[in-house]
Each structure stands twice: as structure tokens, then as C-alpha cells.
Amino acid sequence: MISQVNRTKSKLFNILRIGSLILAILLTLVLMAPNFVEATTTKEKLDEARKHLNNLQTELEATQTQLNDLRTEQDRLSDELSWLEYRTEEQNRVYQDALQQKETAYAIMLEDEAAYQESLQKLSDKHDEYGKRISQMYKWQNKSMLELLLGSDSLQCFFTTVRFMKVVSDADEQALDDLESATKEAEVMRLRSEESYSELTMLAEEADAVLQQIKAEQDMTQSELDEALYSLSLFRQKEENLNAIKNTAQADVNYYANQYANENKPKPTSPQTQAPVQPPSTGGSTVPSGSSFAWPVPSSSYITSYFGWRGSEWHQGMDIAAGMGSNVIAARGGIVTYAGWLGGYGNLIILDHGDGYTTRYAHLSAYNCYYGQSVSRGQVIGFIGSTGNSTGPHLHFEILTYGTPTNPLSYY
């Protein structure tokens, strides 16, 4: 009963531990989100971004250490479970042997009990017979020798009767002694077989108790292994999320570093402007000849804000206005390295194209892809929205080369 209570408490503790672990992971990911609210200058934002990136790296290293510890724990528990399974088979053989010996001892005990009862009956019968003979001889002995002599047919008959009385008396006494010895031996055998049966019964019970204990340990170890595997999956997910957030944080550092560098360059006399271009507006993903990038908004070519300075603010992408819910396509084939909310970007998708190029699609109303998915050029990955820092439905589109933002229009 105590063991059952302890197991119940242990399971409850493990459930609470797993729940706390999930909560800690969620809180970690929330706390790992960048917070540049208090930073006002680009330098402060850059410092905050670098601090955030360092925190992510520290958290990622701690998570990887925990993953290694969990893998070690998984190996240990797997080995322990294999050993317990072997012990279960071995102890089960011990229990079956003890059970067989107990059954054999029980059969012997029944036989010895029957032999003992038979000896008691024979001794009782012999006592009755001996009593009758003693009674007869007593009657004879109450007569005088003269009466026996006068009652005999001859002198020889007299002496024969006397000798016979003596022989009968001695034989009966010997038979009684033998029967009493046999009865005592039968009783000893009976007691010995009862003791043997009791010992083997106890041995079988002990073997069964050990077997049940091993099985309980096996169940407990299996439960611990299941929990370790579940924790392992949680930390793997946390590692993936941290890697994704770290990539975005690195992009933020690059962005603010580039912005800070540009702010410290001699500013042009007038804000940099670029003449608008006319990307395709046929509804397809065709682009001017020689470009490897598809136009990200097939339904619109209206650019409301270009790459570069907007007054005193640096804009590291271009904004394409379009109707709410319009399709947004992948400019090139790649892997989705981020699909989620990210500060002023709102709903953001980041594609890694594998050759140093990365594209970002911000302010979306919804996603049509998921983290880790491989997408092809022209595939619909999201829909136009106005989430984050946005005043109307449009797509904020960026092209980065090895983490450095470049003018998207230079690729069309």
C-alpha cells in the first residue's frame, strides 16, 4: 500500500515537473522575444539587438546541454529497462521452480500424513489384540500351576501351554514396540514434510514478491523513460525555435548595424530617391529577363515606399500596396526559416534561399506555409495584410545578401 502511494506521488510529481517544463519553455521563448521599446537611437537599438542575440545564444547553448543530458538519461534508462526485463525473465524462472517444489512438497506431505494415520490405526489394532491376549493370559495366570496341570491332557501339554503363554507375551510386546517405533518415525516424517512444505511455500511467496517488485521497477523505469523522451522532444522543439529566432535576431543586428553605419556617413543633401519601375502586373510570376526573383505580389505593382532614406528614417525594403488578402508568393525557392509574429513586422515570413540570399515578407494577414517547409519560386506563401507597424494593407518586402539588406529593385 505504501509502495502504491509512493508511486502515485512520484507520478504526480513527474506530471507537475513536465507541466513546469512546458511552461518554462514557453516563458523562455516569450522572454527571448526582442524588446526595443525603450531604445530610441539606432545605437541603442543595435546594442539591444546584440544583447538579445547573445542571450539567445546563451539560452541555445544551455538548451543543447540539456538535450545532451536528456540523451544520456535516455540511454541510461534504456539500459536499465533492458536489465530489468532480463531480471524479470530470470526471476520468473526462479518463481516457477519454487512453485513446482512447493507442489511436490505438498504431495509428499499428503503421503506422509496418510502413512502416519495408517501407522496410528495399526498401533491401535495391535493394542486391542494385545489387550485381549493379556486378558486371556490373566485368566490363565489366575489358575494355579496344579490346576493347569490337572486341566492338561498330558504333562507335555502342560509344558507346551506354559511355553506358549511366554512366547505369545514376548511376541506381542515386541510387535507393540515395533509399531510404536514405526508410528514415531511416521510422525517425524509427517512433521518434516509439513515443515518442508511451509518453507517452500514461503520461498515461493518470496520469489513472487521479488518478481512483483522487479515488474514494478520495470513499470516505473518505463514511465521515467517515456517522460525523458517527452522532455527530449520538448527541448528539441525549443532548440528549433531558438535557432529560428536567433536567425531573425542576427538579421536585426545586421539591419541596425547597417542603419547605424549609414547614419554616421555624410548624409546626402536630399533624401535618396529612386524612380519607380514597372514590375509585371499580369497576375503571374514572370519578371524582367535575366532576374532570378519573382515579383512577390502578382496582383499589384504599386510601390508606396522605396528602399533607402525616408526623411531621417532608413527603410531597408520596399512596400507594395495591394488589396487585403491578395496572394503573396515566394520570390525564389527556399526554406521557411520563420513564420510568425515579429514586432513591427507583424506577421512575418522569412525564406532562406541557400546561396546567401534571404527574403522577408511582412505585415501579412495570414500564412500559407509553415516553419521548415520547402517552397518553390512563385508558390503562394501568405496573404496581404496590415499587421504590425502598418497604416494600410501592403507587403513590406526585403532582400538580404548574407544578412545585409539590399535594394530589392536592383534584382528586377
Q: pLDDT, tens digit, for every residue of 111-152?
A: 777 776 776 776 676 666 666 655 655 555 545 444 554 555
Structural domain harbouring 105: 18-265
CATH number, domain at 33? 1.10.287.2610
In a domain, 281, yes or no: no
> Is the domain of 117 the same as that of 205?
yes
In a domain, 387, yes or no: yes
- Determine the Cα angle at 409 with ends 404 and 411, to 5°: 75
Amino acid at 189: M
> Is the domain of 171 the same as that of 87?
yes
Specify the DSSP element, H or E, that contains 250. helix 155-263
> Is the domain of 228 the same as that of 345?
no
In a domain, 292, yes or no: no
What span, in angstroms and rounded, lies between the C-alpha atoms of 329 and 377? 8
In a domain, 202, yes or no: yes
Report residue 7 as a C-alpha cell: 508511486
Report residue 40 as a C-alpha cell: 530610441
What span, in angstroms and rounded, lies between the C-alpha atoms of 193 and 115? 12
Residue 42: is it exposed, middle or buried by C-beta count within 10 angstroms (0-12/13-18/19+)?
buried
Report residue 2 as a C-alpha cell: 505504501
Which of 325, 310, 305, 313 lies closest to 386 in space, CA to CA? 325
SS3 at position 194: helix
Rg (CA), the chain: 50
> Is the domain of 192 the same as that of 67?
yes
Mean pLDDT, the chain, as a whole number? 76
What span, in angstroms and rounded, lies between the C-alpha atoms of 8 and 135? 78
Decide which of 206, 238, 265 is a domain's last residue: 265
Residue keyed to cell 509574429: 341
> Is the domain of 98 the same as that of 190?
yes
> Is the domain of 235 the same as that of 354?
no
In a domain, 247, yes or no: yes
Report residue 243 as a C-alpha cell: 535557432
> Is the domain of 201 the same as that of 119?
yes
In a domain, 6, yes or no: no
What is the model's pLDDT at position 7?
54
Which of 206, 223, 233, 200 lies closest to 84 in space, CA to CA? 223
In a domain, 188, yes or no: yes
What span, in angstroms and rounded, lies between the C-alpha atoms of 211 and 88? 6
> Is the domain of 52 the same as that of 188?
yes
Contacts of 377 (CB under 8 A, 6+ apart): 285, 294, 330, 331, 332, 333
Pure H helices in 143-154: 145-151
> Is the domain of 33 the same as that of 133?
yes
In a domain, 251, yes or no: yes
Cβ(246)–Cβ(60) under 8 Å?
yes
Give the total number of structural domains in the chain. 2
pTM tops 0.75: no
CATH number, domain at 341? 2.70.70.10
> Is the domain of 163 the same as that of 259?
yes
Cβ(391)–Cβ(346) under 8 Å?
no
Which of 252, 200, 174 lies closest to 95 in space, CA to CA? 200
Cβ(88)–Cβ(215) under 8 Å?
yes
Positions in the chain short of pLDDT 70: 1-40, 116, 119, 122-123, 125-182, 186, 265-291
> Is the domain of 145 the same as that of 259?
yes
